[in-house]
Chain A
Amino acid sequence: KNEVEQSPQNLTAQEGEFITINCSYSVGISALHWLQQHPGGGIVSLFMLSSGKKKHGRLIATINIQEKHSSLHITASHPRDSAVYICAVRDPSNTGNQFYFGTGTSLTVIP
């Protein structure tokens, strides 16, 4: 079982819809990251958070440390949001491998 689980694995939405991607983790963390990967491979860091909520443009990330759960929301989705969204957590107690990654959520936004 992976230390980081994401849902859904695949998501198709109509342009303008509100989108939520979920991430659950099973380890103690110092920070959680949301990453975006476009076709072609490049990965961009969207958020790094350890508590509460962060907002950047149409993107909102929240985290509940007690429940070990984070969500990424996209408001007024647009076709350019189509990408794979990856949740990653940093476990400071694991000196052998500090980062755990989810398998990603593939989002397609249809015009």
Chain B
Amino acid sequence: ETGVTQTPRHLVMGMTNKKSLKCEQHLGHNAMYWYKQSAKKPLELMFVYSLEERVENNSVPSRFSPECPNSSHLFLHLHTLQPEDSALYLCASSQVFRGPYEQYFGPGTRLTVT
């Protein structure tokens, strides 16, 4: 138990569906992250929020839309996804964004797009 929870753990969706992934951290951290992990590839940083403001958006397609309503919650809204978006989506948090602080990861959401 790392103090970061993600729901759902598994999600199967069609290309025309709209769904959302949820992340919650109970660590009092100020930075939260979304990562994508595809098979045989390094983790890809998608979005970073620091103090509820988006600080990075690494050329992610607009069909992925993040939302950070407060420092404890992070959402990833999904719509009109493609089969190649099937992957493990990991949420993480750290004390602050800048500096060599450890990141604490959630268990991930395994997404399958059919």
Which residues of A pack against B, CB within 8 Å? 2, 4, 30-31, 33, 35, 40-45, 48, 50, 86, 88, 90, 92, 96-97, 99-104
Contact A48 B41 (CB under 8 A): no
Question: A-contacting residues of B (Cβ < 8 Å)?
Answer: 2, 37, 40-43, 45, 56, 58, 88, 90, 92, 98-100, 102-108, 110
Find the B residue at minimum CB distance from A3.
B42
Say how far B70's CB is from chain A's closest CB, in angstroms.
23
- Determine the distance from Cα of A109 to Cα of B40 in the docked complex, in whole angstroms: 20
Residues of A within 8 A of B88 (CB): 41
Residues of B close to A50: CB separation below 8 A: 100
Inter-chain CA distance A109–B38, complex, in Å, is: 24
Q: How many A-B residue pairs have CB under 8 A?
A: 53
Contact B45 A103 (CB under 8 A): no
With the chains together, A17 CA to B61 CA distance in Å?
Answer: 45
Given contacts A41-B88, A48-B100, contact A103 B107 (CB under 8 A): no
A41-B100 contact, Cβ under 8 Å, with A96-B58, A103-B40:
no
Least CB separation from A90: chain B residue: B100
CB of B105, distance to nearest CB on chain A (Å) = 4
Chain B hits for A86, CB < 8 A: 43
Shortest B35–chain A CB gap in Å is: 9
Find the residue from B92, B100, B108 having the highest chain A CB count within 10 A.
B100
B108's partner among A41, A97, A100 (CB-CB below 8 A) is: A41
Q: What A residues does B105 contact at CB under 8 A?
A: 35, 42-45
Q: For the complex, give the distance between the alpha carbons of A4 and B110 in Å.
A: 25
Interchain CA distance A41-B8 in the complex, whole Å: 13
Chosen A-B contacts, 14 in total, with CB atoms closer than 8 Å, are A2-B42, A30-B100, A41-B107, A42-B107, A42-B108, A44-B105, A45-B102, A45-B103, A48-B100, A48-B102, A50-B100, A96-B58, A99-B43, A102-B42
